[in-house]
Amino acid sequence: MSKPKPKVRKEVISMSKQGLEERIQNFNEVAFGYAEEEAVAEAERCLQCKKAPCVKACPVEVDIPEFIRLIKEHRFDEAIKKVKEKNSLPAICGRVCPQEEQCQADCTMGKIGDPISVGRLERFVADWERERGYDVPQKSASTGKRVAIVGAGPAGLTVAADLTKLGHEVVVFEALNKPGGVLVYGIPEFRLPKAIVAAEAEYIEKLGVTIKTNAVIGKLYTVEELLESFDAVFVGTGAGLPRFMRIPGENLCGIYSANEFLIRVNLMKAYKFPEYDTPVWVGKKVVVIGGGNSAMDSARSALRLGADEVWVVYRRSRKEMPTRMEEVENAEEEGIKFKFLSNPVRYFGDERSWVKGIECIAMELGEPDESGRRRPIPIKGSEFIIDVDTVVVAIGNTANPLIQQTTEGLEVTKWGTIVVDEETGKTSKEGVYAGGDIVSGVATVISAMGAGKRAARAIHEYLMNKR
Amino acid sequence: MYNIVTKRELVPHINLFEFSAKEIAVKTKPGQFIILRVNEKGERIPLTMADVDPEKGTITVVCHEVGKSTRQLGQLEEGDCILDLLGPLGKPAEIGKFGIVLCIGGGVMVAPLYFQAKALHEAGNKVIGGIGARTENQLIFENEMREVCDEFYVATDDGTRGYKGLGFLEELLKERKIDRVITMGPILMMKKVSELTRPYSVPTIVNLIPIMVDGMGMCGACRVTVGGRTLFACVDGPDFDGHQVDFEELMTRLKMYSPQEKLAFVFYEEGGSSL
């Protein structure tokens, strides 16, 4: 006897957001997240298909159909445990992963309607757990092995969590005053509340990991020195060095790197100045140069800090922007304007050496370059001027160089990134592994976590075979 | 948390702090700096170190109260703690055997200059010290400097003590063969010293701490133009060739947050304290 098949809802359950008028005046999180009944309704849409293309596309291999099934059955506690078997930072990933390019890209449901919103469901169970207090899993028996992790960003924290669960003693060295790396200094509060990063880092500490902040490796200790008291070292120092265009006038007052702007606002909480001591200055008209996530984050932050008008100037067209489209939509909705196919040539200052104008040149797109995107080419004689009070240069970051400069025998690429074996994260130096942006150059949180996961597996194997 | 082992008021509003920070003390070389934060809402304050005691496990800095954050630090006492202390940052100063080295310091920066002068003295150089301040009762680290200098000069802007202004330096440059000049102090003073030594082609090193946030090369707030190139003071310095530095740009960039700094100070003094 077969039961009649219930009709499956094709449209995704939408997630409520802060009202537009309100949200551009505060730094609170824009999206509210699912309520219980919304999460269950979204979970009910999952077809539980056998081939599970979502799992194959997840860099950290979360058993997605299974945790969604548990949500459907209101077994939230088991659902989050299922997620955490593979992902120690679910509240973060649920918010900042580009799911549309990964787990949701080939979703079977997506072929007949909207793909299942895996990210929102992940966020839901992670938040559900955090509000109730973390359940810390049992640790394996101690192996007596010690691992040092350099950098408490997404890669480092993932390695730390995986290795401590296997019984190794793990110490994470973080140069900044808080753990999280780009999650605390780069991504703004309105996309990823810092309390959530702190809570997930705290969870990793509860697993048994020691996080030592204000510890800059390469200065305080070299990797060589760490190897004297640790059996292995993982380097996850990220891509934190800002790029400038090296054009005339770039050192005028009022011109920030995206890193400076975002570190002030996010890590130092300059949006709460003078309650917090670190200031940030934003004029009436702000121009952000670049088309990545940092550009969108800077533009949306500038708006919230009181700018009347915020422009994003990008040298290619909308299609080539490296940012998530969701972020462009959010930015546009909030009133950010875009000037595509334009590139700054030089900056002008006033008598006090504050920036007041940008000379730009129009661009056209030529043949695809090595990134596969069409190369922008300046159009002769097309120069034009934009008046401006504040400029944020968000054209990307390069690898942090300190470890490479202070570690002998570490093979490095011409871009300054560390050379590793893709599958294991093994570097050219015995006992030293690396992963995340320090290897790939600027990429995503989840790809760094995926690299961390692979490295953790390899480090474990290395430690267990080491005499 | 990092403990204040010693606090000493050198002159009004200039305090010496000795922090317990064993790991940093062991690694620090003259010329390097630390970044500290008093509390959770505090700014990151960069300070060039004035001394270390690796055995005792302490580092010494001297801080002038010029705004809210430095005032807040100044109000702490021995036994109190600060939240964050990061270092050693920046490249160490070049300490070699140069011959006759002139160490010219002004204001609060005489303290970190002492650390370099001491190392240069120990490295076998003949060290000539020249320290100054706005006025007599603002002079600091005179005894410490005397101990490590083979020859010693004192100057004040107003002439209340020693030479008036940098006249003694002009005389020294004229009369003696100087192999190297190290200068640490207000930007205007370092600029002037660099201009005075330029005609004599004496290598002149300045120690620059512009506005910075992370202090590790991530923000680029501290960018300075040196010999036409943009460098980051925090990782490429803080020591630079004084004959190559664009001091005008440096001074302009230092004033970038003046209005906000004043606002924060007023807010603090009027009881909006974040302590």
- B275 vs A: CB within 8 A: no
- Partner residue facing B41 (CB), from A185, A251, A277: A277
Residue B272: is its pLDDT beyond 60? no
What pLDDT is attached to residue A373?
85
Q: Tell which residue, A66, A94, A97, A95, has the closest CA to residue A79.
A: A66
What percent of chain A stands above pLDDT 70? 99
Cα–Cα dist B140/B197, whole Å: 25
- A274–B220: do the CB atoms touch at under 8 Å? no
Q: What per-residue confidence (pLDDT) applies to B265?
A: 83
Give the CATH fold of the B97-199 domain. Rossmann fold (3.40.50)
B60 touches chain A (CB under 8 A): no
| pLDDT for res A363 | 97
DSSP annotation of A52 reads -
Is the Cβ pair A250, B230 closer than 8 Å? yes
More confident residue, A140 or A247: A247
Asked, colleague to colleague, whether A146-240+399-465 and A244-397 share their fold, the answer is: yes
Considering only CA atoms, which of A120, A100, A92 is closest in space to residue A181? A92
Q: How many CB atoms lie within 10 A of CB A252?
A: 21
- CA B13, chain centre distance (Å): 16
Domain boundaries, chain B: 2-89, 97-199, 208-275
Segment A216-237, tens digit of pLDDT: 999 999 999 999 999 999 999 9
Q: By the 8 A CB rule, do B131 and B139 touch?
A: yes
A280 min Cα distance to partner chain B (Å): 8
Query: Cβ contacts of residue A209 below 8 Å, gap of 6+?
Result: A160, A161, A164, A170, A171, A172
Question: Nearest CB to A253: which of B23, B252, B260?
Answer: B252
Q: Which of B44, B220, B264 sits opposite A257 (nearest CB)?
A: B220
pLDDT in tens, B136-167: 999 999 999 999 999 999 999 999 999 999 98
Among A158, A163, A161, A171, CA closest to A221: A171
Put simply, the answer to whether B86 touches A216 (Cβ < 8 Å) is yes
Residues of chain B neighbouring A242 (CB-CB closer than 8 A): 218-220
Q: Which residue shows structure tokens 């650390």?
A: B115
Angle (nearest 5°) at CA A197 between A195 and A198: 60
Nearest to B218 among A240, A251, A353 (CB): A240
Question: pLDDT value at position A16?
Answer: 92
N- to C-terminal Cα distance for chain B? 15
The first and second tokens of residue A135, run together, are 């359940």
Interface of A with B (CB under 8 A): 175-177, 185, 213-216, 219-221, 240-242, 244, 246, 250-251, 253-254, 256-257, 259-260, 263-264, 268-269, 273-279, 281, 352-353, 400-402
- Residues from chain B contacting residue A401 (CB–CB below 8 Å): 217
Chain A closest CA to B57's CA: distance in Å?
14
Of B213, B263, B272, the CB nearest to A264: B213
Rounded to the nearest 5°, which phi and psi values hold at A131? Answer: -65, -25
Contact A220 B88 (CB under 8 A): yes
**Rg (Cα) of chain A, in Å, rounded?**
23
Report DSSP state, residue A264. I
Rounded Cα distance, A422 and B96, in Å: 44
- At B274, the pLDDT band (50, 70, 90 cuts) reads very low
Write out pLDDT tens, residues A108-167: 999 999 999 999 999 999 999 999 988 888 888 999 999 999 999 999 999 999 999 999
Beta-carbon neighbour count of residue B201 at 10 Å? 8
Facing B217 at nearest CB: one of A241, A269, A274 = A241
Q: Do the chains contact at A175 and B216, CB–CB below 8 Å?
A: yes
Which residues of B are less than 8 Å from A216 in CB distance? 86-87, 89, 216
pLDDT at B16: 97
Residue B246, pLDDT above cutoff 80 = yes
Which of B41, B216, B249 faces A276 most closely, judged by CB atoms?
B41
- Which of B32, B214, B245, B265 is the best substitution to test chain A (most A C-beta atoms within 10 A)? B214
Does residue A8 register a pLDDT over 90? no
Measured between beta carbons, which residues in chain A are less than 8 angstroms from residue B257? 279, 281
Is B249's CB within 8 Å of A353's CB? yes
A·B CB contacts under 8 A: 115
The CATH number of domain A20-132 is 1.10.1060.10: yes
Query: What pLDDT is recorded for position B275?
Result: 40
Q: How far apart are CA A345 and CA A331, in angstroms?
A: 25
Separation CA B42–CA B63 (nearest Å): 15
Q: What is the dihedral of CA A180, A186, A192, A196, to 10 degrees?
A: 20
Provide the residue ranges of all domains of chain A, joining segments of one domain with +: 20-132, 146-240+399-465, 244-397
User: Which residues in chain A are contacts of B268 at CB distance < 8 A?
Assistant: 274
User: A94 to chain B nearest CA, in Å?
Assistant: 27
Distance of residue A253 Cα from the nearest chain B Cα, in angstroms: 6
- How near does any CA of chain B get to the CA of A300, in Å? 19
List, for residues A367-416, the tens digit of each pLDDT value. Answer: 998 888 889 999 999 999 999 999 999 999 999 999 999 999 999 999 99
Residue of B nearest to A264 (CA): B213
Could you say which residues from 220 to 249 on chain B have a Cβ atom under 8 Å away from some Cβ of chain A?
220-221, 223, 225, 230, 249
Distance from the A88 Cα atom to the nearest Cα atom in chain B, whole angstroms? 26
Would you state the pLDDT for residue B262? 84
What's the rounded mean pLDDT across residues A257-272? Answer: 96
The residue in chain B having the minimum alpha-carbon distance to the alpha carbon of residue A353 is B252
Stretch B20-29: mean pLDDT: 97
- In CATH, the architecture of A146-240+399-465 is 3-Layer(bba) Sandwich (3.50)
CB proximity B23 to A under 8 Å: yes
| Mean pLDDT rounded to a whole number for chain A | 95
- As a whole number, the mean pLDDT across chain B is 94
pLDDT given for residue B271 in this prediction = 65
User: Superfamily assignment of A244-397 in CATH?
Assistant: FAD/NAD(P)-binding domain (3.50.50.60)
Residue B272 near chain A (CB below 8 Å): yes
**Given an 8 Å threshold on Cβ–Cβ distance, is B213 in contact with A402?**
no
Rounded to an integer, the average pLDDT of A309-324 is: 95
**What is the chain B residue with the closest CA to A219?**
B88
Rounded Cα–Cα distance for residues A304 and A228 (Å): 48
- Percent of chain A at pLDDT > 90 equals 93
Contacts of A344 (CB under 8 A, 6+ apart): A245, A247, A289, A313, A358, A359, A360
Do residue B218 and residue A253 have CB atoms under 8 angstroms apart?
A: no
Cβ separation of B260 and A214 shorter than 8 Å?
A: no
Asked whether the beta carbons of residue B216 and residue A352 sit closer than 8 angstroms, the reply is no
Element (H, E) at B90: none
CB contact under 8 A, A240 and B217: yes
The CATH superfamily holding the domain B2-89 is Translation factors (2.40.30.10)
The structure's pTM equals 0.94
Mean pLDDT of A193-208: 95
* CB-based contact A263 B68, cutoff 8 Å: no
Let me know if B251 is exposed, middle or buried by CB neighbors in 10 A (0-12, 13-18, 19+).
middle
* SS3 of residue A155 by DSSP: helix
Contacts with A219 from chain B: Cβ below 8 Å: 27, 87-89
B73-125 pLDDT per residue, tens: 999 999 999 999 999 999 999 999 999 999 999 999 999 999 999 999 999 99
Q: What is the pLDDT of residues A13-71, one digit of tens each?
A: 999 999 999 999 999 999 999 999 999 999 999 999 999 999 999 999 999 999 999 99
Q: What is the pLDDT of residue A66?
A: 97
Residue linked to tokens 């994003």: A312
User: C-alpha distances in angstroms, A466 versus A170, A429, A430, B256?
Assistant: 17, 15, 11, 55
CB contact under 8 A, B267 and A274: yes
